[in-house]
Structure 1
Amino acid sequence: MRLIKLGSITIAASAALALTLTGCTDASKEAANDTKTSESPKLPTETISTLKADPALEALLPANVKTAGTLNVATDPTYAPFEVYADDNKTVVGLDADLAESLGQLLGLKVTFVPSGFDNIIPGLSSGKYDMAMSAFSVTDERKQNADFVVYHQSGSGVAVPTGNPKKLSMDPMTLCGKTIGAEKGSTQGMEIMPDFNKQCEAAGKESIDIKLFPGTDKAITALSSGRVEGVVSGATGLGYQAKITGAFDLAEGGDYEPKPTGLVLPKGSDLTPAITAAMEKLVTEKPYHEAFQKWGINDSNEVTPAQVPVK
C-alpha cells in the first residue's frame, strides 16, 4: 500500500530526474533528493463539515479515554489520499485524517496523529503506545488475530506501471512472472499477494517474480520512475489517485484485485472498540463522510454502509 508524499517530496518524475543527474541509487541518497519543488501537486483544501458531540456515543467511552480527552492515532503519512504530510511537513492530512477528526468530534475528543512506520503500528497498538490507528489497513484474518478493526472504506489492489504500460502488466500474475515488482514492506501486497503470485508463476513453469520490498510505497514509486522496478503493487485507491494528479505513471487497467475492507485498528479486545464502532456506524451516514471521499477523489463505490462497519 502507500505512495508518494505530496507537498513534502517531488513527484515521481522529478525524483527520477534527480536520480539520473546524481547517479544515486541507495535509499539514503534518494531521501536526500526528496525535496520540495514548485512542480509538486497541490493537496485538496476543501473544508469538511463539523459534527456535534453525541452524548450517547460519549457514554460508551472508557473512563481513561474520556478523562484524557484525546485520541492518539498512529499513522504512516506516506500514502495519499489516505494520509500524507501537508506542505509544512508536520500536519497529517488525507481521507483518514479527515475521518478521524470527524470521529473525534462525535466522541467529544481531540485527535492527535502520531507518525509511525507502517509495519510498526500494530505492534505499537499491542504495547499500548497508541489508542488506535488509521493508515489504510486492509482487514485480514491474520491481522484480526492481533487487533480489532472498524471498517470505513473498501478497495482492492492494483499495479502502477510506466506511462503507457509498455510491458502490458496487470494484476494477472502471469503478466508479472519474470518481472521485478515493488511493494511496501509489511503491506498486504508485499506479505500476501506478491508471494502468492510468485507461487502461481512457479507452478506454471514460468520465471519467478523478483519481489522488491521498500519501507514505503513512495520509495517503491521512486524506484519505478528510475527503472529499478517494472511495476509497483499497492492499494488501487491510492495508486489511482496518485497517477491522476501527478501524471508520473499509470494504474494498469483491469479494476481492483480482490477488493477488501479497509479499517481503522485498535488493540485486540480494546475497551475503546465499542465506542469507535458505534461512532463510525453513525459517521458513514453523515455529510462529512461523503465530503471527505469527494475531497480526496475517491469513488463513492468505495464507501461503506453501517452494516459493513463492525468486524467480528
Structure 2
Amino acid sequence: MKEFVVRKSLLAGLVLVLAACGTAESEPAAVSGLNVSLGPDQNRVTAARDDKIAAKVPEKFRSKGELVVGGDTGTAPPLRFYATDDRTVIGVETDIAFLVADVLGLKPRLETSSWENLFVGIDSGAVDVGLSNITVTEARKEKYDFATYRLDTLAFEAKKGGTWKVKEPKDVAGKVIAVTSGTNQEKILVDWSAQNVAAGLKATDIKYFQKSSDYYLALQSGRIDAYLGPNPTAAYHAAASGETEVIGTFSGGASVQGKIAVTTLKGNGLVVPVQEALNQLIANGKYAEVLKRWGLADEAVPASEINPPGLPKTS
C-alpha cells in the first residue's frame, strides 16, 4: 500500500507542474519543456508494418501475433512508469516497444515485474524481449542477444541546494548512496568504494532499493545522501519535483560508453528483426520523435548494433 501512496504522490507532484501550465492532467502539457501526458491516453508515435522485416520474425512469435515485452516496475519517469490511472505503463521505453512491434506487425503486450524477475521471464520464454533500460554487458551476452537503441548515462541525484558534487570516485567516500541491485551502477559504486578504501579513504555505505518510490522517500528523509541511477530518471524527477538536483553524470560503463539495448534470449531469432526495425525507425525519424518527446535526444544512437562490446565482467 505504501508503494501505491508514494507513487501517487510522485505523479500528483508532476500533475501540479502540468496544472501550473494551465492544462489538465490527461492532456499533453509542458513538463520542463516536454510535450507529454501523464494520463493513460498517450497518443503515441506510430509506425507502419514492414513486410520484409516482419517476415524475419520466427514463426513461433509470428503465429501468436504479439510481442511480449518485459519491464521493471521500479523504473521511474521518463523511462517506464505508471500513468495517472496507476495501471497503464507509459514512458520512452514503452513508446519504443510499441514502435518496434508496429514494424514487426505484432501487437505489444506489456509485462511488469521486479528487475530480477524480468530476466527470469526472458530465460523461461514467458517474455519475448526485455525493454527496460538494460545495459549491454559481457556477462549478459553469454545468455542474451542485444539490439542497442540508446546511450547509457548515469547520474547522482541529491537534495537540491547542496555544494557536494560527484566528479570522481573519491567524491563518494563516506557517503550513503543508494542503487538498485543487479545493475551496472551497483558495480560502478562497489568498484569506486573499493578504490577509495585501498587509497585509505572511507568506504561508501551502499543501500539497496528496487522501487523509485522507496529511494525518493529515503532521499527526502535524509536516510541517504544520493541515489545513483539512470540519468533520464534523475533529470526528469529533479525538474518535475524541484526538490532534487543532478550532482554528477557518468557513462553507464564508467571508463567505456555503456549502451542500452532490447534484450532477447540468445539464439531465439528475434534480435535481427528487432535491430532492423530499430534501424528503420532511426532512418525514418520515428525514433527521434520519441526521444525528443521524452527529452532524451542527447542519448540517441546513430544506428542499432547487435551485441556490441559490453561492460567488462566483474573480476
In 1, Cα distance between equivalents of 2:185 and 2:248: 17
Partner of 1:65: 61
Q: How far did 1:267 drift? A: 0.6
Partner of 1:34: 6
Partner of 2:27: none
Q: How far did 1:135 drift? A: 0.4
Using structure 1 for the length normalisation, give the TM-score: 0.84
- Give the length in aligned residue pairs: 280
Q: How far did 1:164 drift? A: 1.7
Partner of 1:288: 286
In 2, Cα distance between equivalents of 1:214 and 1:277: 32
Are 1:122 and 2:122 an aligned pair? no
Structure 1 contact 138–262 (Cα < 8 Å) conserved: yes
SS of 2:86's partner is coil
How does 1:171-250 map onto structure 2 within 5 Å? 171-190=167-186, 192-250=187-245
SS of 1:265's partner is strand
SS of 1:141's partner is coil
Unaligned runs of 5+ in 2: 16-30, 309-315
Q: How far did 1:297 drift? A: 1.4
Partner of 1:277: 275
Higher mean displacement: 253-262 or 112-121: 253-262
Q: How far did 1:301 drift? A: 2.5
Q: How far did 1:169 drift? A: 3.4
Q: What is the identity, as a one-letter code, of the residue corresponding to 1:90? A: R
Q: How far did 1:146 drift? A: 1.7
Q: How far did 1:165 drift? A: 2.7
Deviation string for 1:199-222 (max 9, x for gaps)? 111011011111001122432222
Higher mean displacement: 266-275 or 108-117: 266-275
Structure 1 contact 183–217 (Cα < 8 Å) conserved: no
Partner of 1:50: 46
SS of 2:243's partner is coil
Specify whether residues 283 and 51 from structure 1 end up closer, same or farther in structure 2 by C-alpha distance, changes over 3 A only.
same
Q: What is the identity, as a one-letter code, of the residue corresponding to 2:100? A: L
Identity of aligned residues (%): 26
Q: What is the identity, as a one-letter code, of the residue corresponding to 2:127? A: Y
Structure 1 contact 134–265 (Cα < 8 Å) conserved: yes
In 1, Cα distance between equivalents of 2:282 and 2:119: 24
In 1, Cα distance between equivalents of 2:271 and 2:128: 10
SS of 1:290's partner is helix
Higher mean displacement: 62-71 or 246-255: 246-255
How does 1:52-201 map onto structure 2 within 5 Å? 52-77=48-73, 78-166=75-163, 168-190=164-186, 192-201=187-196
Using structure 2 for the length normalisation, give the TM-score: 0.83
Partner of 1:9: none
Higher mean displacement: 80-89 or 47-56: 47-56
Structure 1 contact 126–268 (Cα < 8 Å) conserved: no
Structure 1 contact 159–251 (Cα < 8 Å) conserved: yes
